[in-house]
């Protein structure tokens, strides 16, 4: 069995804030890594300490810009060439996951392409949280540890002690996600059926189910422009709900998302710190996934099951 000293944690430049918290909970300092940038923007990461024979965990979410993904790929290659024993990618937010199929002719399946890039770079394992579609795990030919954000959201919802609780999915594709929460809390669900004209633009939306007098919790894996979640909350309140709040793992928050959320009928949105917030908002509550990932890293290194980290539903 490898000794605890063979574990080394490193962070990409854009996930330093989260990596520091993960290393704190793990009880081990982050390894030293440098990132050189040439004048034309070319990246050149390098490890400032030996990783020979080590179990290396590289922490970096691959949110835009694309440099975050490229930096991570280069770090994998550098670790491999420095004779690391095992390289695990810790990618709390897996970018390009929304492009997981051909929904129209002549488009890329970007999630599969990113999976291929990770494998080609030499990674041995992926650790991530709340993929946009669970079947993306099948794009990889190595183990994927798919952590569940419910591990941080369920305790938070419990602490609110809401009565007449009702869960809602902001679209048909997220029904399974909302149903898992409803099952745990022994509550009912409703569905917001939306139709898009194009990406990030909603043409119409309607609520399927009764929300009269309920404290509604919208469940989603990510918030991009905020249009869907805010529109769903508005319609739910119009249907007679007592309150509407949302839980969302990945706060992408592009465009004028913060303005939409601040002016929305939402009581609050609970998000994780897989992606750093560009600004603070009185309606956004941030919960950390650092302890969850630190436990997963320890269990993976010790060859133990990670099933204990999941909320039993």
Task: State pLDDT tens for residues 39-65.
Answer: 999 999 999 999 999 999 999 999 999
pLDDT score of 53: 95
Same domain, residue pair 18 and 127:
yes
194 catalytic? Reply is: yes
If asked whether residues 279 and 294 sit together in one domain, one would say no
**The pair of three-digit structure tokens given for residue 136, joined into one six-digit string:** 């993306």
Count: domains in the chain: 2
Range of the domain at 68: 4-148+290-309
* Cβ atoms 38, 44 nearer than 8 A: yes
* pLDDT tens, position by position, 127-166: 999 999 999 999 999 999 999 999 999 999 999 999 999 9
SS3 breakdown of the chain: % helix, strand, coil, rounded to 5? 35, 25, 40
Annotated catalytic residue: which of 8, 28, 194, 231? 194
CA atoms within a 13 Å half-sphere pointing along the CA-CB vector of 299: 16
Same domain? For 9 and 144 the reply is yes
Residues 232, 193: Cα–Cα separation, whole Å: 9
Are both 144 and 156 inside the same structural domain? no
Distance from C-alpha of 12 to C-alpha of 73, rounded to nearest angstrom: 10
Tokens found for residue 282:
């009185």
155 and 142, same domain (yes or no): no
Is 187 in the same domain as 91? no
54, 109: one domain: yes
Q: What percent of the chain has pLDDT over 70?
A: 94
Task: For residues 66-71, give the mean pLDDT.
Answer: 96
Q: Are residues 184 and 267 in the same domain?
A: yes
pLDDT tens, residue by residue, 256-290: 999 999 999 999 999 999 999 999 999 999 999 99
Among candidates 110, 80, 92, 95, which has minimal Cα distance to 11? 92
CATH code of 87's domain: 3.40.50.2020
Report yes or no: 226 and 260 within 8 Å, Cβ to Cβ.
Answer: yes
CB atoms within 10 A of CB 211: 21
Between CA 39 and CA 297 the distance in angstroms is 36
Burial-class residue 34 by CB neighbours within 10 Å (0-12, 13-18, 19+).
exposed
């Amino acid at each position: 069995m490898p000794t605890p000293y063979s574990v080394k944690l490193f962070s990409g430049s854009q996930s330093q804030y989260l990596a520091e918290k993960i290393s704190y909970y793990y009880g081990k300092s982050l390894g030293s890594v440098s990132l050189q940038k040439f004048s034309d923007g070319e990246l050149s990461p390098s490890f400032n300490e030996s990783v020979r024979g080590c179990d290396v965990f590289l922490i970096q979410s691959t949110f835009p810009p694309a440099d975050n993904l490229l930096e991570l790929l280069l770090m994998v290659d550098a670790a491999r060439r420095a004779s690391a024993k095992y390289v695990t990618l810790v990618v709390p937010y897996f970018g390009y996951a929304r492009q997981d199929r051909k929904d129209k002719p002549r488009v890329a399946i970007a999630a599969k392409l990113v999976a291929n890039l990770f494998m080609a770079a030499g990674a041995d394992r992926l650790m991530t949280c709340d993929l946009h579609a669970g079947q993306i795990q099948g794009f990889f030919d190595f183990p994927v540890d798919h952590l569940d954000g419910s591990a941080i959201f369920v305790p938070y919802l419990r602490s609110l002690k809401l009565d007449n609780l009702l869960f809602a999915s902001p679209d048909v594709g997220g029904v399974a996600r909302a149903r898992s929460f409803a099952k745990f809390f022994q509550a009912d669900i409703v569905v917001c059926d939306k139709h898009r004209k194009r990406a990030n633009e909603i043409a119409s939306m309607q609520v399927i189910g009764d929300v009269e007098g309920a404290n509604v919790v919208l469940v989603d894996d990510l918030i991009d422009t905020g249009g869907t979640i805010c529109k769903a909350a508005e319609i739910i309140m119009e249907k007679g709900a007592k309150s509407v709040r949302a839980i969302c793992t990945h706060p992408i928050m592009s465009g004028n998302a913060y303005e939409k959320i601040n002016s929305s009928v939402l009581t609050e949105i609970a998000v994780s710190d897989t992606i750093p917030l560009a600004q603070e908002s009185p309606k956004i509550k941030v919960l950390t996934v650092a302890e969850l990932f630190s436990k997963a890293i320890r269990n993976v290194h010790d060859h133990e099951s990670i099933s204990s980290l999941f909320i039993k539903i």
